[in-house]
A and B are shown apart, each in its own frame.
Chain A
Amino acid sequence: MGLADRILNNDIRAAARLMRDIDDGLESAKAELKQLYPHTGKAYIIGITGPPGAGKSTLVDQITAEYRGQGKRVGVVAIDPTSPFTGGAILGDRIRMNRHAEDEGVFIRSLATRGALGGISHSTGDVVNVMDAMGMDVVIIETVGVGQDEIDIVRMAHTTIVIMVPGLGDDIQAIKAGILEIGDIFVVNKSDRDGADRTARELSVMLEMGHSRDSGWMPKVLMTEGNRGEGIKALVTECLAHKEYLLSSGALNKFIMEKNAVILMNMLKDGLFNEAFRIVSKNGKFDKMVQEITDHSSDPYTIVENTVKGLIVTNRN
């Protein structure tokens, strides 16, 4: 039996292995993903993002517990950075989620970014698909600790939660572009700390100023205290409200179309590049091209133009 068949028969090891094959870029993973694809599209996907140390993992743990209390199966994809120097990584998000380790209704997978810069790994979408096909009702994606511009999560998750903590900067930070534009729900975590109310107020003002969009959804600012579980019920209730808004307003369909357009574009790009590079790498052609550019006997613009033309002609014949 192939991995996909085993996954559809609830084989945890097969799921874990396919996720690894995806992450390692094995060609064989594609056939399995094709087979799983008809079984995807059912899970509700939540993205959690925010700066390092804001309490993302702890909130993921608490949200997971809340959904488990409702009898839902939960998948977690937790992403931590890869070292740009050694290619190694320490994936430490599970530390906060260990109480779910033996719960068969929870599957947690740690991923390293492996050079991706948008806050998640290139493999994240496919790993979420595997969890979706495993029958997870909810999949929570925890991004790496982000700064201002790592916003790939917004294309991946139905509901994006941006976690902030008190004391990170003044209200000008809150009106800059980037991460603060992507939240469907904002959370001020560590709400027992000094300045939490002020942070929440500044966020609220920023959100009201920015609410000229024709979007029918107004993001709320909620307060949580992750390590004590305060405010988690309200947060999960707000997720449900956002999910219902997506369904009732038709925004869900638009979101899925946009997401699929991006996926298709990226896969086309990768596929075309791989094919072009395969052809160009034959017989030392690539090195010759680099040499021509280096000694100025040609230029990169002409070489790429001719290569792409050549590809199209080859395919017509």
Chain B
Amino acid sequence: MSSRKLRILVGKPGLDGHDRGAKVVARALRDAGFEVIYTGLHQTPEQIVAAAIQEDVDCIGLSILSGAHNTLLPRVSTVLKEKNADDIAIFCGGVIPEDDIPGLKAAGIKEVFTPGTSTEDIIKWVKENIAEK
């Protein structure tokens, strides 16, 4: 009768308190017709993964501006694997130096969006890489 509705978790791991970007992306994803589970600030990787599993999301979008991306993002990926949930993709956005991107991708982060990315690009990426999987 019905088709699948895409569900995406948007959250902020770690300690920085800047959530404007995450909110803009959440809103844009909502306007693209997705269901966005917004978990807010100061999340541990374990909390993020537990929420993603209970909500049965297709992917997790993480916003990080604290500089701790090389620690926190791979940790989310590791916890997903530990919980047998690594079919859930991770993408991230924030102030992430170009040099760090290959390492993050090797650690299981599917895409990294740096400052200046338009919300249309993020939506397009989600449609092409998550919706059609």
Contact = CB atoms under 8 A, between A and B. Distances in A.
Nearest to A114: B5
Interface in B107-126: none
Interface residues of A, number: 32
Contacts of A107: 54
A95 B39 contact: yes
B2 interface: yes
A264 to B, nearest CB: 20
A13 B80 CA distance: 12
Contacts of A25: 1-2
A20 interface: yes
Interface stretch (A60-68, A86-94, A160-168, A220-228): A86-94
A32 to B, nearest CB: 14
Interface string B1-23: 11111010000000000000000
Contact of A88 (B30, B46, B51, B56): B30
A102 B30 contact: no
B77 to A, nearest CB: 17
B100 interface: no
6 contacts: A26-B2, A88-B31, A90-B38, A91-B35, A92-B40, A102-B50
Interface string A6-48: 0000001100110110011111000000000000000000000
Q: Tell me if B's interface is mostly helix, strand, loop or mixed.
A: mixed
Interface string A96-120: 0010011000011110101000000
A27 B85 CA distance: 25
Contacts of B85: 13
A9 to B, nearest CB: 14
A291 interface: no
Given A20-B7, A26-B2, 18 more contacts: A12-B54, A13-B84, A16-B53, A16-B56, A17-B56, A20-B4, A24-B3, A27-B1, A87-B5, A88-B31, A90-B38, A91-B37, A98-B43, A101-B46, A102-B46, A102-B47, A107-B54, A112-B5
A91 B38 CA distance: 6
B95 interface: no
A101 B9 CA distance: 14
Interface of B: 1-5, 7, 26-27, 29-40, 43, 46-47, 50-51, 53-56, 84-85
A19 B29 CA distance: 22
A88 B39 contact: no
Nearest to B52: A16
A135 B60 CA distance: 28
A83 interface: yes
B37 A86 contact: no
B40 A88 contact: no
A77 to B, nearest CB: 11
Contacts of B39: 94-95, 98
A102 B49 CA distance: 9
Given A88-B36, A91-B36, A102-B47, A109 B26 contact: no
Among B29, B30, B35, chain A packs the most CB atoms within 10 A around the CB of: B35
